[in-house]
Amino acid sequence: MAVVAVGDFSDTKVVVDLIKEHFGQKCSVPNPPHISSFSVPVHDEPFFSYFVESEATGSAVMIGYKMPVHDLKTVQDYRDMLAESMFMYALNQRFFKLSRRKDPPYFSCSAVADVLVRPLKACIITSACKEKGTLEALESMLVEVARVRLHGFSEHEISIVRALLMAEIESAYLERDQMQSSNLRDEYLQVYCNCNFLCLICLLMYATK
């Protein structure tokens, strides 16, 4: 068991004493229940669905690629996470440039990686497009993803993304004193419950003066 207390405490000893008073006699359950792990079925053929909403003010297209979740426990895991972040940055830069053309296939488009359930995450690409323009938007999104898969990104694109990522990290460090206590609490929980390597790095960064 762990107890996390985060905040601007005037007397930390009082906080520690309160934790000991209320939780010091607590013991772990002797036979904790087994937590099962369930896999998500995979499929080779693409699944799709569509619907029409009479009150919608525009059209949208969403594409999702499922992939396994890897815990952040090693330096290599952290490096892979940074590489994925740079990939998403670069891909979104491509989508943004396409949206700024004279006759764009969509108004806006972005990609993000998000965890669906514990063993599975997805790369989700979403675009907002004109009415009756969903097929054009879908084709443009898939073509750009295929182009990246075949040719990758240029050195210029990578250098821009690297600079953006570094600026974001530096900004987070400079503003570390303004971070909400609830966010720090959640970081500690991730370290304790999931041995999350990234969260440990964040905590060390916020603790550094």
Q: Measure the CA angle with vertex 52, ends 51 and 56; round to 5°.
A: 125
The kind and range of the H/E element at 185 are: helix 181-194
This prediction has a pTM of: 0.78
Q: In sequence order, what DSSP letters do the residues of 10-26 get, joined into one string?
A: S-HHHHHHHHHHHHTT-
SS3 (DSSP) at 25: coil
**What are the tens digits of pLDDT across the range 111-127?**
999 888 878 899 999 99
**What are the tens digits of pLDDT across the range 55-106?**
888 899 999 999 888 877 788 888 898 899 999 999 999 999 999 999 999 9
Domains of the chain, residue spans: 59-173
For residue 7, give the DSSP letter. Answer: S
The CATH superfamily label for domain 59-173 reads: Metalloenzyme, LuxS/M16 peptidase-like (3.30.830.10)
